[in-house]
Amino acid sequence: MILTRRALGAGFLGAAGLAAVTPGTAFGQKTDTYPARPVTTVVAWAPGGGTDYVARLLAEQFSKEFGQSFVVENRAGASGTIGHASVARARPDGYTLLMGVNSTYAMARHLFPNRGYDDERSFAPVGRIATIAAYLCVHRDSPIRSVADLIAAAKAAPGKMTYASPGAGSSGHLAPELFLKMAGIQVENITYRGGAPMLQAMLAREVDMAFLDVVTVLPYLRSGEMRALAIGSRDRLALTPEIPTVAEAGVVGFECNTDYALFAPAQTPETIIRRLNAGVAAALQAPAVRDKLLANGYVLQPGTPEEWPAYLATESAKWGDVIRTRGITLE
């Protein structure tokens, strides 16, 4: 199956749900007038990345939908936990939101035990928004032309091949570790200080392989400077239907995506959460948001607050197992 877009109505409140919200109060403020002033969406990463991109698209559309200003504020550091902690401490009135990503809410929890908040108790989920996968890539001059070739080469020389990662405990580190675990091979991690140096290392052929996200690597695939052996998503991507999934290529059951979701502080009134959830549904139907996400390789992944606990439990268990069994620490 080739991914195009998910049914936008599924799982989200429609316009009728927005109209049916019962007025209430939150800390002395009537919630049926929400938003009555500007709303801040915190991004726990530096400007320019995928989380920032999704947050700004959504904020721009929300400003139109709600007739109120939605602004993005970047609070980076400690694998996203600094920004998450600031939202956990914010007043639960709907005026401070969080654009979260699974590298923080499902991975960092296993690496930062003293992060100052609890992923289940400190936030009220609005719902999932979108997901994006990464390609398993090699340099264009590499003799490796398939996942089977890569596995065979690694087994022939255990620990001699290398992969690039953008930092210890990052999704770009854990994705290849999951792959190595499932493929039963040994490849050495070479850690770089961020995605840009990691990309340059791949282009210079300093390393043998890396998982690179769609937005970053697609221009290099199209120019022929890199070769994608497979994509980490469950299904093939419509932008590159000729590239198989890692599971199709032989590592059955492998799936790795970057997932984005919107949150508010815990105890934010349900009427506000429902209104925001309906707003996300409307935003994902708007061409200004939908078309840009799809053109950049994102897959629309709408969800409800009710679906969130089961998803988080599954995602957290998956990455917790990788971190424990692979002996990953931040030291």
Phi-psi map region of 163: left, alpha, beta (phi>0 left; psi -120 to 50 alpha): beta
Both tokens assigned to 77: 């550091």
Residues of the chain with confidence (pLDDT) below 50:
1-29
Candidates 3.30.200.20, 3.40.190.10, 2.60.120.650, 3.40.50.300; correct CATH number of 133-237? 3.40.190.10
**CA nearest to 283, candidates 117, 109, 55:** 55
pLDDT digits (tens, 9 = 90+) for 94-140: 999 999 999 999 999 999 988 999 999 999 999 999 999 999 999 99
**Cα–Cα distance for residue pair 156/239, rounded to 1 Å:** 34
Q: What pLDDT is recorded for position 129? A: 98
Domain boundaries, the chain: 2-132+257-325, 133-237
Q: pTM (2 decimals)?
A: 0.87
The one-letter amino acid at 66: F
**CA nearest to 150, candidates 192, 187, 198:** 187
Q: What is the DSSP letter of 12?
A: S
Q: What pLDDT is recorded for position 14? A: 38
**Cα–Cα distance for residue pair 94/35, rounded to 1 Å:** 8
pLDDT digits (tens, 9 = 90+) for 56-96: 999 999 999 999 999 999 999 888 999 999 999 999 999 99
**Which are the contacts of 6, defined by CB distance < 8 A and separation ≥ 6?**
299, 300, 301, 302
pLDDT > 90 in the chain, percent: 82
Phi-psi map region of 51: left, alpha, beta (phi>0 left; psi -120 to 50 alpha): alpha
Top CATH class of 2-132+257-325 equals: alpha beta
Tell me whether the CATH fold assigned to 2-132+257-325 matches the one assigned to 133-237: yes
Contact 324, 178 (CB under 8 A): no
Q: What pLDDT is recorded for position 31? A: 59
